[in-house]
Structure 1
């Protein structure tokens, strides 16, 4: 046996004495890895609300009156219900906005408006709402909301489709983010007039004041191949 092997065997036979400091430092490798690999969870909404309630309590005593015994957390939730009914930003949204560290999505140039595309042809109606960078927010057709076959080309189908799109924008709070809106019309189907009626009616009151431009992108034919023979009825 060589000298190096003898030294290794002798070192392996000698008992290792662990001091108290050494024992404190020794821990399983798996626990160390799992502790470092665990992602930092963001604070929950309940913890942020309770933290805000504690800060509001530290600022001053609760207001006297019939609701004086109500906790600060309950007062915040009650105020959120009132603000939400008035379509105003709630305290919960403000707390989430203050604690959100993620970068806001780049929507494109600041001078570019949002776009409300209405494509109405004789068989169907398509509506697409896009951001200034041309990324779609929502895109639906009359067939997507339950109209089938020939009913997709009717005035009523386009009317209900436009009202559905506007309702989805309200549910996603996009009416608060949209500052300027361009309406783009294409085609001469029945949906053209129906979508215009919705935007000018009660359903479009939240978006009507933000319309800055109305444009027409209907395709026009110049030359090209011969058109098909017109259909004859009767």
Structure 2
């Protein structure tokens, strides 16, 4: 296994930081793919057969995008696609299957095995680089979606919702909790949600409660 990284003009910095696994047992074919990707600014990890590729893919920092030859010793491209689908480590991956098989049933077979894209030999280097860029865009979208879902899950966990029937006193308006203790409304809600209270006086209570007190204080002052 070896690595290659030869940045070139015309590619984004983000793409150049992404790694691509190239698994191909034929040395000349592998070097052709590596050369095409390196010219596009990609960091390339090479595997000489399916077993070596599988070992790389199981690593915690393995490339998220893999270009796999269909016909390889140890494990072929189809087997690798199936194994990648079983990993279940939560990491998004994008697999491009490369082969000389061009029949429709072969394409269907490859995609059903878990490949995300399919390119036939001989291929155009620019087309390969374009498909890799598409793969990275898909991975970026998947990562953004996963992050958004994680943020929403955290937000839901932080929200404490009041639900069900609340026993409340008809006179003092205290609420009875699960332990049969009576609490002020603001105390109960404060314990079961993220709500914080700031106290004030509504117009009706002001007229009913405050005005008589103010009048009484004023009269006392005159006396």
TM-score normalised by length of structure 1: 0.21
TM-score normalised by length of structure 2: 0.22
